[in-house]
Structure 1
Amino acid sequence: MIESTPPGVRFPLGSGRDPDIGTNSLQNYQLIPNPLFSLVVRESPDGTKQPELLLEKSLDREKQRNHSLILTAADGGDPVRSGTTQIKINVTDANDNAPVFTKEVYKVQLLENLPEGSLAFQVKATDSDEGVNAEITYSFSDISNRARQLFTLDSRTGDVKIKGSLDYEEGKRYEATVEGKDGGGLSAHAKVHIDILDVNDNAPTLSLLPILNPIPEDSVPSTVVAVINVRDRDSGDNGAVSCTIDGDLPFRIEPSSENTYKLIIAMLAKALDREEAAFHELVLRASDGGEPARTGTARIRVAVLDANDNAPVFSQAEYTVRVPEDVPVGFTLVTVTATDADEGLNGHVKYS
């Protein structure tokens, strides 16, 4: 008997037999009381009584799949004689139950460095029916094109796997709707919220904007040589960057604004001296706060322009010359020489 049978339907039962005649023959049928079934006895034109089982209430296989009834046939003799039979009813399934997901909303967090093919999560639905009516097929019913490129759903198991490269910097959150449909066509839906978690997979990058290069050697301390912009695509500590300069050089780095630094001349007694170093090779280093930290570097060559900061120096502090009294006019008595550490016109010495 299928569970979708509506109340009021009758099921003919087999008739009892009694070889006696008259009042001693079969006179009546009785059914042990049952809340779902009752007995209707229909009498044929020839006087034969035909028992019928009447369904009083709706069946539910999921609550009770088997029913056992006792039917009694009695004659009219004295004493009364009777016989009994057992009626076994097996309730067969109807697709009267839709699938039910274990969660209305699946909330998932995934690290962005999970490799392709990894199991991200699983959706699961159950169905109280049986057989084909309980076989559930899973599918995405509402999902963006980008999410469909990243995730695949196994229609049989409900396993959601990664099929593309996750990137927190490209997409931090995805939403989708999953459908579970049974073999009879009934379906259910659940929401899926996927949050991508950042990992420190990006090193800082530095870009330089020269402001004063080459720089005069007599420039005052704190003169800005270049502006440095630092960028890290990660977030949180992974994207928190500090900037330093390598070596003991007459320059330092000073924060300007968020992710921006200034390369300036250090406040030293003698910051720059072209005569000691005509240029400086600087290595700028930016490190993030990840664990382990990632580092980016940039190089800049700062040329130093000459300033006229050196006076000429004679080869001797004093020249002593002995001149004979008969020296002719135009005779060279002595040659003096002076040098200047500066360059160009600043280093060209004139005598007078």
Structure 2
Amino acid sequence: MVESTPPGTRFPLGSGRDPDIGVNSLQNYELTPNPLFSLLVRESPDGTKHPELVLEKVLDREKQRNHHLILTAVDGGDPVRSGTSQIKINVTDANDNPPVFTKEIYKVRLMENLPEGSLAFRVKATDNDEGTNAEITYSFSDIASSARQLFTLDPRTGDVKLTGVLDYEENKYYEASVEGKDGGGLTAHAKVQIDIIDVNDHAPTLSLLPILNPIPEDAAPTADVAVINVRDRDSGKNGEVSCKMDENLPFRLETSSENTYKLIILVLAKALDREEAAFHELVLRAIDGGDPARTGTARLRVTVLDANDNAPVFSQAEYTVRVPEDVPVGSVLVTVTATDADEGLNGHVKYS
């Protein structure tokens, strides 16, 4: 009996036989009480009685798939004699139950470094029917093309695997709708919300904009030499960057912006001396707040231009010359030598 059988449907039952006659013959049928079934007895013109089983209420195979009844045939004798027959009713499935997902909304969090081919998440639906009516096929019913390139859904298992590379910096959130359809065509839907979690997969980058390079050695102690822009594509602590440089150099770093991508200005810390160092090699390091931290570096050569900050220096502070009185006119009496630590015209010495 199909569970979708409408109430009021009749099912003829086999008639009993009694060789007696008159009141001693078969007179009536009785059925064990059951709220789902009743008994209707029809009498033919020749007086033969025919029992029919009547369905009174809707069947539900998912609640009870088998029913056991006893049909009793009784005669009119004294004492009354009776015979019984067992009625076994097997309720067959009708596709009267749609699939039901275990969740209305699946909330998923995925690390952006999840390897391609990994199981990202799984959706699951159940169906109270049986057989093909309970076999569920899964599919995406609504999904953006960007997400479809990253995720594939197994129609049999509901497993969703990663088929591309996640990048938090490109897209940190995806949403999709999944459909579960049973073998009878009934469907159910659920939403999937996917949050991508940032990992520290980007090192800071530095870009340099020289302002005063080369720089005169007599430049003011607060002169700006270069602007350094630091950028990290990660977020949160992974994108928080601090910038450092080698110590014991005549420069220092000052922060000019409080945002994530700091504008860093390089300024002079003490007087320069070209004669001591004609150029300085600076190594700038940007370190993010990730664990483990990532580092970006940049090099900057600062050339120091000469300033006329050195006076000529004679090779001797005092020259003593003894000259014979008969020395010829035009004779060289002494040669004096002076040097200048500056370069170019600043280091060219004239005598007078």
- Return the TM-score normalized by structure 1: 0.97
Letter in 1 for 2:268: I
Matched, 1:78 2:78: yes
One-letter code of the match for 1:3? E
Q: What SS is found at the alignment partner of 1:189?
A: strand
**1:145-189 deviation digits (Å, cap 9, x = unpaired):** 111111111111111111111111111011011111111111101
Query: What's the counterpart of residue 246 of structure 1?
Result: 246
What letter corresponds to residue 266 of structure 2 in structure 1? Answer: L
Q: Could you tell me which residue of structure 2 aligns to residue 122 of structure 1?
A: 122
After the TM superposition, which residues 163-202 of structure 1 pair with which residues of structure 2 at under 5 Å, given as runs?
163-202=163-202
Give the distance between the partners of 1:126 and 1:298, measured in 2 at CA. 59
How far the C-alpha of 1:247 sits from its partner, in A, is 4.1
- Distance across 2 between alignment mates of 1:111 and 1:135: 33
Mapping for residues 122-161 of structure 1, pairs under 5 Å: 122-161=122-161
Q: Which runs of 4+ in 1 moved over 6 A?
A: none
2:342 maps to a residue whose letter is D
Query: Which residue number corresponds to residue 282 of structure 2?
Result: 282
* Residue type at the aligned position of 1:241: V
Q: Secondary structure at the match of 2:243?
A: strand
Residue 204 of structure 2 aligns with which residue? 204
How far does residue 248 in structure 1 lie from its aligned partner after superposition?
A: 1.9
Query: Which of 251, 260, 265 is matched with 2:263 structurally?
Result: 260
CA drift of 1:127 comes to 0.5
- CA offsets per residue over residues 65-117 of structure 1, 9 Å max, x none? 11111111111222221111111100000000001111111111111111111
CA RMSD for the aligned pairs?
Answer: 1.0
For 1:16 and 1:306, the matched residues in 2 are separated by 129
The one-letter amino acid paired with 1:150 is L
**AA partner of residue 340 (structure 1):** D
**AA of the residue aligned to 1:5:** T
Cα deviation, residue 32, structure 1: 1.6
| AA of the residue aligned to 1:135 | E
For 1:86, the aligned partner's letter is Q
Identity of aligned residues (%): 83
Tell me what 1:162 maps to.
Answer: 162
Tell me whether 253-262 or 225-234 shows the greater mean CA deviation. Answer: 253-262
User: Are 1:320 and 2:323 an aligned pair?
Assistant: no
Which residue number corresponds to residue 2 of structure 2?
Answer: 2
- The DSSP-based 3-state class of the residue aligned with 2:256 is strand
Letter in 2 for 1:100: V
1:40-78 deviations in Å (ceiling 9; x for gaps):
111112221111111111000001111111111111222
2:102 corresponds to which residue? 102
Q: Is 1:64 the counterpart of 2:67 in the alignment?
A: no
Question: In structure 2, what is the Cα distance between the partners aligned to 1:87 and 1:221?
Answer: 108
* More divergent stretch after superposition (239-248 vs 186-195): 239-248
Separation of aligned partners in 2, 1:260 and 1:14: 97
Distance in structure 2 (CA, Å) of the matches to 1:182 and 1:290: 47
Equivalences, count? 349
Q: In the alignment, what sits opposite 2:347?
A: 347
Partner of 2:14, secondary structure, is coil
Moved more, 61-70 or 246-255: 246-255
Residue 55 of structure 1: aligned partner = 55
